[in-house]
A and B are shown apart, each in its own frame.
Chain A
Amino acid sequence: MVGTSIPSTALPKAASLTEVLLAPSLPLVDPSEMRRLRHAFECELQLATGPLDPKDRVRVDAYRLRNSMTGKSEADSPFRWTPWTARRPIGVESVRACLSNQRLTPMQATTQAVERLVRRADDESRPDSLSGWLARLAIGGRSVVQAEAVVWATQLLTALDWIELGRPVVGGDRSVAVGSSGQFVLRGQIEVRARARSDDGSFGPQPVLFSMMTGRPGPTASAELGLTALTVALDERHNEIPLRVVGWWPQCGRALVLPVDAAFLGRTCEAVIATVRATAPARRRPALDKAATLEPAERNRVRTAPRTGRKTPIVPAERVAS
């Protein structure tokens, strides 16, 4: 099932979603193909920006990708906590708590999560930003955050048949730094990572990804989900290529099931490069602007060029940061 809703006649929907998420399949991208794609991607990224100031980082996440693809200008405002940005981290914590304690409901788990965060702000001299923000909120404001997190956690908990998922990882977002300098950082949002089933029904080695999205599927949905898959595929710590990525829009009850093959990853790479190109020009050193104006033929030659010289490894962002 590609790019369609799950059938509205199939109830419960959680069973249908879980079935399509875990369905057995042969791997669609072989490791050598992935190596070629990785190399071409790194070359293209460098060409897209030219050498960057060592202090610069170009970060591509779903938000930035979406804005770039829709031509929406990105307000240069710093990230701030709101009930809508806070609901996910609190919701993830609540879902984990509910999965480890079957008697816990999202409402109870969220209450505990919020209390824990506020306590942390009281106990620690330098609390994390979410704890500090929550602790500063008045009771009325905090109740809105909690209520939003309850909705989020309930939507995720009721989206899947968790018993069938084996040992899923909840909320394992990935960040990878691409290139030797680690200046390009990709971030994929993953609500659930599980293993696809093999033909004999046991869990196989290949990861499958589930992302819960906001609103309704738009023209950038495929690229946003592709970014999630690409981030996992490029992460050398785990060295695994996801089999598929499933996007779920609880507000409209729609799902998008995307098998991860080389063409899909290639399209996602192009979308990321376009985003980097749109984001980075201001930071680019003037003398190297010419590199970004390569004719398509030349760019294709670069894309297919054999790997030479020093390897530009893709390293996890966390390692770069440390």
Chain B
Amino acid sequence: MADQMVAEDLRQPSTSPVPTTGADVLASIRGTASHRHRVDPGLSGGLRDWLEDGLCSLSAGLVTPLVVNKQTLRDALIGRVDPRNTQATITDSMALGSVMDALFRQLVTTGHFDDPMKDGIDALRIDPRRSDVVDFVHGLTGQQLVDFQNELNAQATILLTRWPRLSPAWLPRTQERIAIPLAGGDVVLVGVVDLIVGAPSSGRASVGLIELKSGRARVEDRDDLRFYALLETLRSGAAPFRLATFYSRTGQVDAEDVDDELLTSSLRRVLTAIGRMVEEA
């Protein structure tokens, strides 16, 4: 696993990041072609069997179906299990993340956006499940609203100037959902990947997964993408070749190649987290 380009020291984010160009970002997402490994035909099935074996001893105490996503994994691993699964209260940073996700989707799909606030909120407004974010932003007033708009405009500018235009031949698709049922459907691993590029594999790793983050770089960001890499491997039978996080706060990219070790460590993390969820339930 070779780190091609790390945006910031993940433990101590830089306050004055080195600017990157669209070409740098593109190169970072692409990685090195020679690192695109041949698909191990037994890997996906092996990972699935490992998960199934691990879950058969855990699933007895489960309230089913147990839906596991990147957030519930994180929460379980830091001991923040919410059995009632209550909705988190919206904060400035969460709202900013949602609007930036919408703008990123629009940029990848249409190639442009004009008014970050308007376009972002219009995109969220069409989905009733995001009404809490829309209401939150509409409720901002005074300095809080000014700060929000300033940060949004700054990140939108970085996105527009640093994010490269991808070739449509890469088959970019945004917010693609992955849902992997396990243990006879009692456990479902789910993820929504901000951006997937590449045609499905025909023998060599061919897919890249990209996430957009509007906050500071955190170690857990990689765990999110590694979890998605595991889901993609289980879904398609082929591991992705590359994982990348684009930080709209700085315009930089954290990327890594995917190998067996990365997938198995992610798998262990999933089993550990589900184990804790069962203990807490």
- Known interface pairs A11-B201, A144-B127, A147-B174; A216-B188 also in contact (CB < 8 Å): yes
Is A111 interfacial (CB-CB < 8 Å)?
yes
Q: Which listed residue, A15, A143, A155, A252, touches B181 by the CB 8 Å rule?
A: A252
- Known interface pairs A105-B169, A139-B122, A216-B188; A12-B200 also in contact (CB < 8 Å): yes
Q: Which listed residue, B44, B118, B178, B181, touches A140 by the CB 8 Å rule?
A: B118
Q: Are A11 and B237 in contact (CB under 8 A)?
A: yes
Taking CB as reference atom, which chain B residue is nearest A10?
A: B237
Q: Are B180 and A82 in contact (CB under 8 A)?
A: no
Taken together as a complex, chains A and B put the C-alpha atoms of A139 and B122 apart, in Å, by 8
Q: Are A83 and B181 in contact (CB under 8 A)?
A: no
Taken together as a complex, chains A and B put the C-alpha atoms of A96 and B19 apart, in Å, by 42
Q: Are A215 and B125 in contact (CB under 8 A)?
A: no
Taken together as a complex, chains A and B put the C-alpha atoms of A253 and B202 apart, in Å, by 15
Q: Are B45 and A146 in contact (CB under 8 A)?
A: no
Q: Are A150 and B174 in contact (CB under 8 A)?
A: yes
Taken together as a complex, chains A and B put the C-alpha atoms of A275 and B105 apart, in Å, by 40
Taken together as a complex, chains A and B put the C-alpha atoms of A147 and B202 apart, in Å, by 25
Q: Are A111 and B110 in contact (CB under 8 A)?
A: yes
Contact with A along B172-184 (1 / 0, CB 8 A): 1111111111000
- CB B111 to nearest CB in A, in angstroms, measures 9
Q: Which of A109-139 contact B (CB under 8 A)?
A: 111, 137-139
Q: Which of A248-301 contact B (CB under 8 A)?
A: 251-253
Chain A residue numbers with a CB within 8 Å of B200 are 11-14, 158
Is B243 interfacial (CB-CB < 8 Å)?
no
- Known interface pairs A9-B237, A150-B173; A141-B179 also in contact (CB < 8 Å): no
- Known interface pairs A107-B109, A111-B110; A140-B45 also in contact (CB < 8 Å): no
Q: Which listed residue, A107, A144, A253, touches B236 by the CB 8 Å rule?
A: A253
Q: Which listed residue, A8, A14, A151, A251, touches B45 by the CB 8 Å rule?
A: A8
- Known interface pairs A141-B122, A158-B171; A147-B105 also in contact (CB < 8 Å): yes
Q: Are B171 and A82 in contact (CB under 8 A)?
A: no
Chain A residue numbers with a CB within 8 Å of B172 are 107, 150
- Known interface pairs A11-B41, A138-B118, A252-B181; A151-B174 also in contact (CB < 8 Å): yes
Q: What total of chain B residues lie within 8 Å of the partner, measured CB to CB?
A: 49
Q: Are B171 and A143 in contact (CB under 8 A)?
A: no
Is B114 interfacial (CB-CB < 8 Å)?
yes
Taken together as a complex, chains A and B put the C-alpha atoms of A156 and B10 apart, in Å, by 38
Chain A residue numbers with a CB within 8 Å of B202 are 11-12, 15
Is B61 interfacial (CB-CB < 8 Å)?
no
Q: Are B199 and A158 in contact (CB under 8 A)?
A: yes
Q: Are A13 and B179 in contact (CB under 8 A)?
A: no
Q: Are B237 and A140 in contact (CB under 8 A)?
A: no
Is B106 interfacial (CB-CB < 8 Å)?
yes
Taken together as a complex, chains A and B put the C-alpha atoms of A141 and B173 apart, in Å, by 17
Chain B residue numbers with a CB within 8 Å of A15 are 202
A–B complex contacts, Cβ < 8 Å, 9 sampled: A8-B44, A11-B203, A14-B200, A83-B127, A107-B172, A140-B121, A146-B109, A216-B185, A252-B180
List 14 additional contacts besides A139-B122, A155-B173; criterion CB under 8 Å.
A9-B42, A9-B44, A105-B168, A107-B171, A107-B172, A138-B122, A140-B102, A143-B113, A144-B123, A146-B110, A147-B175, A150-B172, A251-B177, A251-B178
